[in-house]
Chains A and B, each alone.
Chain A
Amino acid sequence: MSNQFKLQPAQIVEKAKEIRKKIIHTNVRAGQGHTGSDLSEVDILASLFFRILNIQKDRIDDPDRDRFILSKGHGVCGLYCTLVEAGYLPEELLDTYLQFDSDMPGHPVRQKCLFVELNTGALGHGLSVGVGLALSAKKTNRRFRVFVLTGDGELQEGSNWEAAMSGAHFKLDNLVLIVDRNTLQLADRTETIMGLEPLADKFRAFGFEVYRANGHDPGDLIETIESLDMHNAMPKAVIAKTIKGKGVSFIEDRAAWHHRIPNEAEVLTALEELE
């Protein structure tokens, strides 16, 4: 199976713009949401869904499809908007975001949304489940790959490190962890709250092959991920340098925007900047 779009980086940049505009509209309409977190991950999600992930709309249950887990479940609006932009979900559904019993609740639910493998929202769950999925592929000789996107503050959860230890022990070269490294968490900078650095060294010490990429450059992300050796008996960590709130100047790199919503004037400015 291959990706059904296979877009070039320049085309993905255009898709990311549209996704960002949808995020602003959707969060404003809902009256709440994790705007900064959503904007941080957009270029990573766009690169995955429009190029990297081997998934296709008419084969959503295919056991050979690549698996993606949004471990930072609070970034779900970014995922919904990406799936809508890709035509996997109808755009009208975004109107129901956060509404009663909506198919688009504030954290992803696999029973409600295609390509959601796990109900995330509590942090530090995706990597363990990713390890289990990658292990299932090894045990059944399937060739699918498993991509897990975590936030960076999320890595303060100890369960990630249990999972990392086992991913290396089981030699899961089909497992790719992407860290949305925007250096901000809910309350403040990660390094102020509970320092993560030297993060790359930590993953290396746990047996991962570690790469760094510009998390806002689809070209760099694609080149990094497509050149990974998926047969070297090592799991991979891609530390994607990002800016929380990327694309909107007054949201960028501000902890206060973890789950703030722009007001009317701010929306106009934001949409102008995203053009």
Chain B
Amino acid sequence: MHEQKHDLREAMVQSFIKAVDRGINLAVVVSDSTSTSKIKPFAQKYPDRLINVGIAEQNLVGVAAGLSLGGFVAVTANAACFLVARANEQVKNDVCYSNTNVKLIGLNAGVCYGPLAGTHHAIDDISIMLGLGNIVILAPSDAIDTAAIFDFALEYEGPVYIRMDSDKLPVIHNEDYRFELGRANLLRTGTDISIMAMGSTAHEAYFAGQELEADSVQAEVINISSIRPVDKEAIAESIRKTRRVITVEEHSLHGGLGSIIAEIIVEENLQAQLIRLGIPQGQFSKAGPRDKIRAHYQIDKNGIVTAAQKLLQTS
């Protein structure tokens, strides 16, 4: 792990620039979200490829679908909360059902906008996207993961949703990491407990794994950045080994990573204990500083360690 922290959006924008450099016919569509997307370096180099539709999310997605039908690889970049809620029908019909070559980027997802409260939180984006056909769902966790995921997505033909974080985050993947669709990333191996996390909570899981090791607990930490398709085999293999699972997500417990893992446990008859950490279903997240929100819902390092100790005590 490298201490230096990177804004994942900067890695995203560099991927955009490199994609055009190598001949991809890219158009990035924003809805007044030029600062949200940190798109300036791209806009300076390829001003004609950036389209701003103003504060109009339905039009954002419809225009992107039209651009893709006209031959562009179209990317939308705006806050996840407005993308998935305001433009839901455009996402469903113009992108997913019509199977257009659009990449939907949900920026500042989860509770990145902590104190800005419920209107700005996106704790339902994964569950909403999972209900739609044809769409690949990805959630990078660090700058290396982000670059790899965008390099993949811009070459992939068809709808993709990418859940993005706003924090500056250290690197938890090796330089030789390669993203593979439908493949889980093992961040550390262990035999006592499996911790599975999505997006930036992979960092909390990673550090919890380190802390548990000091207590002689061998935690296996898996970053699930490919949500659909998901790596059922690797997930089941880990659970068969440890029989104890914690899932961690900055998302509602309805229809997120925890739900996916619970389905796998039941369908594969894995006989495991499961603790799902996230925002309880049927609730909006509390508002406030993000670290306080994470602590409240136990989706931080300490919460994961506590959950792990509980699981180890009861079995």
Contact in complex: B98, A118 (CB < 8 Å): yes
Contact in complex: B56, A162 (CB < 8 Å): yes
Contact in complex: B63, A119 (CB < 8 Å): no
Q: Which of B59, B61, B68, B74 has the most CB atoms of chain A within a 10 A radius of its CB? A: B59
Chain B nearest CB, measured from A185 CB (Å): 19
Q: Which of A110, A121, A132, A142 contacts B63 (CB 8 A)?
A: A132
Nearest-CB residue, chain A, relative to B51: A135
Chain B CB within 8 A of A122 CB = yes
Contact in complex: B70, A120 (CB < 8 Å): no
- A110, B69: Cα distance in complex, Å: 11
Q: With A125-B94, A132-B62 in contact, do A111 and B89 touch (Cβ < 8 Å)?
A: no
Contact in complex: A110, B93 (CB < 8 Å): no
Contact in complex: A165, B66 (CB < 8 Å): no
Q: Which of B58, B66, B92, B94 contacts A135 (CB 8 A)?
A: B66
Chain B CB within 8 A of A79 CB = no
Neighbouring B residues of A127 by C-beta, 8 Å: 62
Chain A CB within 8 A of B156 CB = no
- A119, B100: Cα distance in complex, Å: 10
Q: Mark B153-187, 1 if CB is under 8 A from A, else 0.
A: 00000000000000000000000000000000000
Nearest-CB residue, chain B, relative to A142: B70
Neighbouring A residues of B66 by C-beta, 8 Å: 128-136
Nearest-CB residue, chain B, relative to A130: B66
Q: With A132-B62, A133-B67 in contact, do A165 and B56 touch (Cβ < 8 Å)?
A: yes
- A117, B54: Cα distance in complex, Å: 25
- A166, B63: Cα distance in complex, Å: 9
Chain B nearest CB, measured from A76 CB (Å): 14
Chain A CB within 8 A of B149 CB = no
Q: With A119-B93, A122-B93, A125-B94 in contact, do A133 and B69 touch (Cβ < 8 Å)?
A: yes
Contact in complex: B99, A111 (CB < 8 Å): yes
Neighbouring A residues of B68 by C-beta, 8 Å: 132
Q: Mark B246-284, 1 if CB is under 8 A from A, else 0.
A: 000000000000000000000000000000000000000
Q: Which of B54, B56, B69, B92 contacts A132 (CB 8 A)?
A: B69
Contact in complex: A166, B27 (CB < 8 Å): no
Contact in complex: B67, A128 (CB < 8 Å): no
Chain B CB within 8 A of A67 CB = yes
Q: With A110-B98, A120-B93 in contact, do A132 and B58 touch (Cβ < 8 Å)?
A: no
Q: Mark A107-147, 1 if CB is under 8 A from B, else 0.
A: 00011000001111110110111111111110110100000
Q: Which of B62, B66, B68, B99 has the most CB atoms of chain A within a 10 A radius of its CB? A: B66
- A165, B99: Cα distance in complex, Å: 26
Q: Mark B56-96, 1 if CB is under 8 A from A, else 0.
A: 10110111111111111010000000000000011011100
Chain B CB within 8 A of A163 CB = yes
Neighbouring A residues of B48 by C-beta, 8 Å: 139
- A134, B62: Cα distance in complex, Å: 12
Neighbouring A residues of B67 by C-beta, 8 Å: 132-133, 135-136
- A72, B170: Cα distance in complex, Å: 50
Chain A nearest CB, measured from B51 CB (Å): 7
Q: With A67-B69, A132-B74, A133-B70 in contact, do A125 and B62 touch (Cβ < 8 Å)?
A: yes
Chain B nearest CB, measured from A143 CB (Å): 12
Contact in complex: A121, B58 (CB < 8 Å): no
> Which residues between 160 and 180 of chain A lie within 8 Å of chain B, taking CB atoms?
162-163, 165-166, 169
Q: Which of B58, B64, B71 contacts A140 (CB 8 A)?
A: B71
Nearest-CB residue, chain A, relative to B63: A132
- A158, B97: Cα distance in complex, Å: 21
Chain A CB within 8 A of B117 CB = no
Neighbouring A residues of B51 by C-beta, 8 Å: 135
Chain B CB within 8 A of A96 CB = no
Chain A CB within 8 A of B53 CB = yes
Contact in complex: A165, B94 (CB < 8 Å): no
Contact in complex: B90, A128 (CB < 8 Å): yes
- A134, B59: Cα distance in complex, Å: 14
Chain B CB within 8 A of A159 CB = yes
Neighbouring A residues of B64 by C-beta, 8 Å: 132
Q: Which of A63, A110, A118 has the most CB atoms of chain B within a 10 A radius of its CB? A: A118
Neighbouring A residues of B90 by C-beta, 8 Å: 125, 128, 159
Contact in complex: B63, A128 (CB < 8 Å): yes
Contact in complex: B58, A165 (CB < 8 Å): no
Nearest-CB residue, chain B, relative to A158: B58
Nearest-CB residue, chain B, relative to A129: B66
Chain A nearest CB, measured from B90 CB (Å): 7
Contact in complex: A131, B63 (CB < 8 Å): yes
B-to-A contact residues, CB < 8 Å: 27, 48-49, 51, 53-54, 56, 58-59, 61-72, 74, 89-90, 92-94, 97-99
Q: In the complex, given contacts A118-B93, A132-B66, A136-B71, what are 7 additional A-B residue pairs having Cβ atoms less than 8 angstroms apart?
A: A63-B70, A129-B94, A132-B67, A133-B69, A135-B67, A136-B27, A136-B72
4 tightest A-B contacts by CB?
A132-B66, A136-B70, A128-B62, A162-B59
Q: Pick 9 A–B contacts, CB within 8 A, sort by A.
A: A118-B93, A119-B94, A121-B93, A125-B94, A128-B61, A132-B74, A135-B63, A139-B70, A140-B71
